[in-house]
Structure 1
Amino acid sequence: MNTLLPVASVGSLPKPSWLAKPEVLWSPWELEGAALVEGKQDALRIAVQEQRRRGVDIISDGEQTRQHFVTTFIEHLEGVDFENRETVRIRDRYDASVPTVVGAVSRKQPVFLDDAKFLRAQTDQPIKWALPGPMTMIDTLSDRHYKSREKLAWEFATILNQEAKELEAAGVDIIQFDEPAFNVFFDDVADWGVAALERAAEGLRAETVVHICYGYGIKANNDWKATLGAEWRQYERTFPLIQKSSIDIVSLESHHSHVPTDLVELIRGKKVMLGAIDVASEQIETPEEVADTLRKALQFVDADKLIASTNCGMAPLPRDVAYGKLSALSAGAAILRAELGEQA
């Protein structure tokens, strides 16, 4: 991609109300059978069209065909029981009813391949596909079989690698692994988390991203963030490890967060997908605010390695707000692109 400061969204976008209940995570589908398949594809088409219309350079599926960024992948695996659910604490923040691992996990067939092929057919622009990272997967279920977080993470990493290679073969340019758990379980990240992530990305020619955020703009996450103090320095624990890893791009929160921008220095040399849009607020940023957030990061990342993005997914937001934020993101990146062009 030759565009300076390309624009991308992290992942999820709100679904149409005829497909799923708006502004809710794990929202049940409003359609079923063949109508659901058709409805998901229509929603994906709309998401692509809206991204292109609003100046997004790296197109994603907006996660229109999945209920949730982690559990939709897990529910396609063998060895996981979705009927026998248990309530667990997710990322030490909130309780959720999750599936249970009852046997050896395996993937009998591709999970997202058909959806990725459909996305590829909608646009000639670069496309990005998000998968859950191994550590975040084990944090979103109950394990009655392996009884070892590390062991299960390695199993998931192998499965994710199979999936990622098929997505790459279908024409996906960038494969993103979502690892919000990296902001919580620091010892595990150091002991085996980054290694498991590298296993998931092993052998890929597509560019790879690790996305580490502070979560969707839901109450449990917002309440947790309120306890983190004046400076959020969680990235300080993980960035030096990721800087030495084989992952190409690091996606992080910045705008309206208490993350010190100078922490970006810890991943010097990597591409940076900088969150310049606050997903925990319905206030639409001005292009100038976006440009200012991106501009501050240029002290710590070269302009040709900076990607303008959102802090996290936007599934829980009203659709007009989410798409308005994408327009602001593109307009803000354009301001900074013009400034950099004048300096050249």
Structure 2
Amino acid sequence: MQTLLPTSIVGSLPKPSWLAQPETLWSPWKLEGDELLEGKRDALRLAVQEQTRNGIDVISDGEQTRQHFVTTFIEHLSGVDFERRETVRIRDRYDASVPTVVGAVRREQPVFVDDAKLLRATTDRPIKWALPGPMTMVDTLYDAHYRSREKLAWEFATILNQEARELEAAGVDIIQFDEPAFNVFFDEVQDWGIAALERATEGLRAETAVHICYGYGIKANNEWKATLGSQWRQYEETFPLLQQSGIDIVSLECQHSHVPMELIELLRGKKVMLGAIDVASEAIETPEEVADTLRRALEFVDADKLVPSTNCGMAPFPRNVAAAKLRALSAGTNLVREELAR
């Protein structure tokens, strides 16, 4: 990244209405077979165009080729039965029907590598690819085989490392691991979560990132946030551990959250991907609001290590809202760049 304050998005963008139901999280596909394959690839190209036109510097796929940020990866693994469903508590917040681990988990073939090659061929800007983190994968399944969250996490870490190495070979510059579970299971983060994450990144030359947020703006997450009080200090548990880890970039939620900005100081020396766009509200931030968030963050992170971003994914938004939020992110970042240049 040569650009000062390179802008990026965390993950998803809304899908076109011809591909999936608009404004719906994890909505089913509207196409099948070869048409679906072609539609996903067209949507990926559109996502690149949308980011480029609206001033985003580090380009991602907008998760256009996947339904869910965790289960789409798991669908491609053996050892998991999607027909055998069990209800589990996700992130200690809400119940969900999830697939069951019935045997040894294996990655028989690459999952996202062809899509990453298409992304690489579609833009000459730096590209980022997101994978689910080991702990969040474990938290999205019922385990009837290993019967140990830690053992299953280590298996997933090995699989993720295989995928990440091939994504790197396909030209991906930044490989991001999504670990919202890090904001919930603090003892496990300390006992094996960070270690499993580092196993997933082993041997990579590409930059590595971990994204930890408070979730999409869905009812269960919003209700949980309402119980957290006037200060959200969950990051205080994980940031010191991540600061000591080999992970290059830490992505966090900031805009309209109750996260005390000074917690970023705990990451000193790491790159910080700062969420300056709220994904729980359709209200469009002004460039000045974004700039103010970035200015406050610069008290605790050096300018050459700050990556302005969104709080989380934007899949549930109308497409025009997501585009306007991208423009706000870019415009607000430009205000701060100009100030720094002076």
TM range (shorter): over 0.9
Matches within 5 A, 1:207-218: 207-218=207-218
Query: Deviation of residue 22 (structure 1)?
Result: 1.3
What is the CA–CA distance in structure 1 between the aligned matches of 2:228 and 2:285, rounded to whole Å?
24
Query: Deviation of residue 306 (structure 1)?
Result: 0.2
Which amino acid is 2:324 matched to? G
The corresponding residue for 2:145 is 145
Matches within 5 A, 1:20-35: 20-35=20-35
1:65 aligns with 2:65: yes
The corresponding residue for 2:107 is 107
2:177 alignment partner, SS class: strand
Query: Deviation of residue 94 (structure 1)?
Result: 1.1
Which amino acid is 1:126 matched to? P
1:87 alignment partner, SS class: strand
Which amino acid is 2:223 matched to? D
Query: Deviation of residue 85 (structure 1)?
Result: 1.1
The corresponding residue for 2:277 is 277
What is the CA–CA distance in structure 1 between the aligned matches of 2:21 and 2:146, rounded to whole Å?
35
Q: Structure 1 stretch 85-94 or stretch 188-197: which is displaced more?
A: 85-94
1:267 aligns with 2:270: no
Query: Deviation of residue 323 (structure 1)?
Result: 1.2
1:3 aligns with 2:3: yes
Which amino acid is 1:182 matched to? F
Q: What is the Cα-based RMSD across aligned positions, in Å?
A: 0.5
Query: Deviation of residue 129 (structure 1)?
Result: 0.1
Deviations 1:189-209 (A, max 9, x none): 000000000000000000000
Query: Deviation of residue 68 (structure 1)?
Result: 0.4
1:180 aligns with 2:180: yes
What is the CA–CA distance in structure 1 between the aligned matches of 2:213 and 2:301, rounded to whole Å?
19
The corresponding residue for 1:206 is 206
2:43 alignment partner, SS class: helix
Query: Deviation of residue 67 (structure 1)?
Result: 0.2
2:296 alignment partner, SS class: helix
The corresponding residue for 2:249 is 249
The corresponding residue for 2:85 is 85
The corresponding residue for 1:223 is 223
TM-score (norm. length: structure 2): 0.99
Which amino acid is 2:129 matched to? W
Which amino acid is 2:274 matched to? L
State the percentage of identical aligned residues.
81
Query: Deviation of residue 95 (structure 1)?
Result: 1.3
Query: Deviation of residue 10 (structure 1)?
Result: 0.2
1:66 alignment partner, SS class: coil
Query: Deviation of residue 118 (structure 1)?
Result: 0.6
1:50 aligns with 2:50: yes
Which amino acid is 1:160 matched to? L
The corresponding residue for 1:235 is 235
Which amino acid is 1:296 matched to? R
2:274 alignment partner, SS class: strand
TM-score (norm. length: structure 1): 0.99
What is the CA–CA distance in structure 1 between the aligned matches of 2:48 and 2:152, rounded to whole Å?
35
What is the CA–CA distance in structure 1 between the aligned matches of 2:190 and 2:227, rounded to whole Å?
24
Which amino acid is 1:271 matched to? K
What is the CA–CA distance in structure 2 between the aligned matches of 1:264 and 1:275, rounded to whole Å?
12
Query: Deviation of residue 316 (structure 1)?
Result: 1.1
What is the CA–CA distance in structure 1 between the aligned matches of 2:99 and 2:118, rounded to whole Å?
28
5+ residue gaps in structure 2?
none
